[in-house]
C-alpha cells in the first residue's frame, strides 16, 4: 500500500487558487492541522473571512484533489475562518484586540448611511464574525434605535464603558450616554475627545470588525478617526443621484488625503419595486450612478440595495431587515454587500504579506 505523505497532500491542495489573493491556499498558509492516519487524511482550511463566497467550492475541490492520491480512503475537511488583522498606519493609536476598523461614510446626509452600517454589522455577525458598531455620528445618533437599544444605558467596569449588545453586535453611541432631547452642540476639540473616548474608554473585547458609522461630510470626526487609529478602510455610501455622487467624491478624496484606503462604494436606494407589481422597477433617484462612479475612481463597487418599506419598518422597530425579513430583496442585498466588504478587508489586510512572499520567490 502506498504511504501517503504530507507533501503529496499539500501538492494537490496547491492547485486551489484563492480568486481574490491570486495565490494557492498552501502558499497562503490556509491549510492547517494536516494529519494522516493510514488511508485517512484530515485538515482544516482557514479562510480570511467567515462570509467567504467560495467556501463550499474550496471544500469540494479539496476533497476531490486529495481523494485522487493513491491509497487515500477518506478525506475530512474542516472549513474555518480567521479574519486577518489589518495593516494599520504607523503612529496611530492601536486597539490591540480589534483586528479591523471600517469607516462607513458618505458625502451627505439622507443616503441611508446608518441603515447600511447597521445591516452590514449585523450581517457580518450572522456570518460568524465578532463585530462592534461605533456610532460616531454624534449630531444624529440613530444606531441605538435601529438596533433596539434606544432605551438602554451602558454600564461601567474597571474604569471602562461596557458596550450595549443588540443582535450579536456590540454598540456605543452618544444617544445612550446623553438625554434623548439634548442637542449635540460640539466644537472640533470636543468631537476629537468623544471619538477618542469611544475608542479607548470602551471595553470592546475581541473584535474581527469594528464598524464606525461616520457623520455625513468631511469634517472633524473623519479626521480624528484617521489620526487616532489605524483605519483598515472606508466604505462609501451613495444613492444614484448626481448630487449624492458629487458629495461622495469629496469623501473619497478626503480619505485619500489621510491615507485611508477606500474599500468600495455601496449604492443605497438604487431602485424601487412595488410589492404588488414585482415586474415593475422604478429608478427613483437615477440609475447606475454608483457603479459608474466606482469604475471612474478605480475602486470596487460593493453592491446595490433597493429601496423598500421593509427597511424603514425594520429600523423603526429596532430589528434590522437582515433579521426581520431575511428573504426580502433588501436583506439579500445587504448580506451580499457584507460579503463583499469582508472580502475587500481581507484583500487589503493581506497585501503586505503578499508583497513579502512575492519578494521571497
CA 177 to chain centre: 26
- Which grid cell sits at 356? 513579502
| Cβ-count burial 59-96 (b if 16+ within 10 Å, e if not) | bebbbebbeebeebeebebeeebebbebbbbeeeeebe
Is 339 domain-assigned?
yes
113 and 38: one domain? no
Which of 309, 291, 313, 289 is closest to 300 using CA atoms? Answer: 291
The residue-averaged pLDDT of 172-198 equals: 63
Helix (H) or strand (E) holding 207: strand 207-213
Domain boundary among 52, 81, 110: 81
Cα separation values, 27 from 34, 42, 64, 115, 181, Å? 15, 18, 19, 39, 56
73 and 106: one domain? no
Pairing status of strand 207-213 against strand 160-162: unpaired
d(CA 220, CA 218): 7
d(CA 131, CA 120): 10
Which of 32, 30, 35, 31 is closest to 5 using CA atoms? Answer: 35
pLDDT of residue 86: 72
298 and 251: one domain? yes
| Cβ-count burial 157-171 (b if 16+ within 10 Å, e if not) | eeeebbbbbbbbbbb
pLDDT of residue 93: 52
269 and 329: one domain? yes
Neighbours of 275 (CB within 10 A): 9
Whether residue 109 contacts residue 139, with contact meaning beta carbons closer than 8 Å, is answered with: no
Question: What pLDDT digit, counting tens, does each position of 7-48 carry?
Answer: 999 999 999 999 888 899 999 999 999 999 989 999 999 998
Is 361 domain-assigned?
no
Neighbours of 292 (CB within 10 A): 15
Question: What pLDDT digit, counting tens, does each position of 302-322 carry?
Answer: 999 998 888 989 989 999 999
d(CA 53, CA 239): 26
Question: What pLDDT digit, counting tens, does each position of 203-261 carry?
Answer: 999 999 999 988 765 555 566 666 666 788 899 998 887 777 777 888 888 888 878 88
67 and 106: one domain? no
Question: What pLDDT digit, counting tens, does each position of 100-120 carry?
Answer: 999 898 876 778 889 999 999
d(CA 266, CA 303): 5
Helix (H) or strand (E) holding 185: none
pTM above 0.85, yes or no: no
Phi and psi of 143, rounded to 5°? -60, -45
pLDDT of residue 188: 45
166 and 226: one domain? yes
What CATH number is attached to the domain comprising 221? 3.40.50.300
Looking at the predicted structure, is the pLDDT value of residue 354 above 70? Answer: no
List, in order, residues 6 or more apart from 11 with CB less than 8 Å away: none
Whether residue 339 contacts residue 53, with contact meaning beta carbons closer than 8 Å, is answered with: yes
Looking at the predicted structure, is the pLDDT value of residue 184 above 70? Answer: no
Confidence at 74, pLDDT banded by 50, 70, 90: very high
116 and 35: one domain? no
Neighbours of 312 (CB within 10 A): 14
308 and 342: one domain? yes
Looking at the predicted structure, is the pLDDT value of residue 189 above 60? Answer: no
Looking at the predicted structure, is the pLDDT value of residue 137 above 80? Answer: no
Better pLDDT: 49 or 183 = 49
164 and 208: one domain? yes
Is 143 domain-assigned?
yes
- Which grid cell sits at 133? 458598531
Cα separation values, 285 from 289, 297, 302, Å? 9, 21, 18
Is 190 domain-assigned?
yes
Phi and psi of 150, rounded to 5°? -65, -30
Looking at the predicted structure, is the pLDDT value of residue 361 above 50? Answer: no
Number of domains in the chain: 2
Domain of residue 274: give its range. 98-355
Cα separation values, 311 from 68, 116, 123, 300, 307, Å? 49, 10, 14, 24, 8
Domain boundary among 81, 108, 135: 81
202 and 286: one domain? yes
Question: What pLDDT digit, counting tens, does each position of 321-340 carry?
Answer: 999 999 999 999 999 999 99
Is 360 domain-assigned?
no
Which of 32, 23, 26 is closest to 14 using CA atoms? Answer: 26
343 and 207: one domain? yes
Q: Report how many helices (DSSP H) and strands (DSSP E) the chain contains, helices first.
A: 11, 13
List, in order, residues 6 or more apart from 56 with CB less than 8 Å away: none
Confidence at 91, pLDDT banded by 50, 70, 90: very low
Whether residue 336 contacts residue 163, with contact meaning beta carbons closer than 8 Å, is answered with: no
d(CA 96, CA 203): 11
57 and 194: one domain? no
Looking at the predicted structure, is the pLDDT value of residue 356 above 50? Answer: no
Cα separation values, 249 from 161, 254, 277, Å? 36, 9, 35
Is 92 domain-assigned?
no
Domain boundary among 46, 81, 116: 81
Is 90 domain-assigned?
no
Amino acid at each position: 500500500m502506498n504511504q501517503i505523505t504530507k507533501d503529496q497532500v499539500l501538492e494537490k491542495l496547491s492547485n486551489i487558487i484563492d480568486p481574490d489573493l491570486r495565490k494557492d491556499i498552501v502558499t497562503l498558509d490556509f491549510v492547517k492541522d494536516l494529519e494522516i492516519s493510514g488511508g485517512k487524511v484530515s485538515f482544516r482550511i482557514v479562510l480570511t473571512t467567515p462570509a467567504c463566497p467560495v467556501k463550499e467550492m474550496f471544500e469540494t475541490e479539496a476533497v476531490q484533489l486529495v481523494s485522487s492520491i493513491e491509497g487515500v480512503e477518506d478525506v475530512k475537511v474542516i472549513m474555518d475562518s480567521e479574519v486577518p488583522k489589518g495593516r494599520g498606519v504607523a503612529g496611530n493609536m492601536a486597539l490591540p484586540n480589534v483586528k479591523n476598523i471600517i469607516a462607513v461614510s458618505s458625502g451627505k446626509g439622507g443616503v441611508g448611511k446608518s441603515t447600511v452600517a447597521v445591516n452590514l454589522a449585523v450581517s457580518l455577525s450572522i456570518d460568524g464574525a465578532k463585530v462592534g458598531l461605533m456610532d460616531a455620528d454624534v449630531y444624529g445618533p440613530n444606531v441605538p434605535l435601529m438596533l433596539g437599544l434606544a432605551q438602554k444605558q451602558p454600564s461601567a467596569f474597571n474604569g471602562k464603558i461596557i458596550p450595549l449588545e443588540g443582535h450579536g453586535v456590540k454598540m456605543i453611541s452618544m444617544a445612550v450616554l446623553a438625554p434623548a432631547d439634548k442637542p449635540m452642540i460640539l466644537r472640533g476639540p470636543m468631537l476629537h475627545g468623544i471619538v477618542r473616548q469611544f475608542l479607548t474608554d470602551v471595553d470592546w473585547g475581541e473584535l474581527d470588525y469594528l464598524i464606525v458609522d461616520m457623520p455625513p461630510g468631511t469634517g472633524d470626526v473623519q479626521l480624528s478617526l484617521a489620526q487616532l487609529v489605524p483605519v483598515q478602510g472606508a466604505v462609501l455610501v451613495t444613492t444614484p443621484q448626481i448630487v449624492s455622487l458629487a458629495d461622495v467624491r469629496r469623501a473619497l478624496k478626503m480619505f485619500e488625503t489621510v491615507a485611508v484606503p477606500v474599500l468600495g462604494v455601496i449604492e443605497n436606494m438604487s431602485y424601487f419595486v412595488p410589492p404588488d407589481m414585482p415586474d415593475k422597477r422604478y429608478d427613483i433617484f437615477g440609475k447606475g450612478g454608483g457603479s459608474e462612479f466606482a469604475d471612474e475612481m478605480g475602486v470596487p463597487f460593493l453592491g446595490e440595495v433597493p429601496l423598500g418599506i421593509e427597511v424603514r419598518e425594520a429600523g423603526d422597530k429596532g430589528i434590522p431587515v437582515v433579521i426581520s425579513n431575511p428573504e426580502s430583496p433588501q436583506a439579500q442585498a445587504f448580506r451580499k454587500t457584507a460579503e463583499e466588504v469582508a472580502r475587500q478587508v481581507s484583500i487589503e489586510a493581506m497585501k503586505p504579506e503578499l508583497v513579502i512572499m512575492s519578494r521571497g520567490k
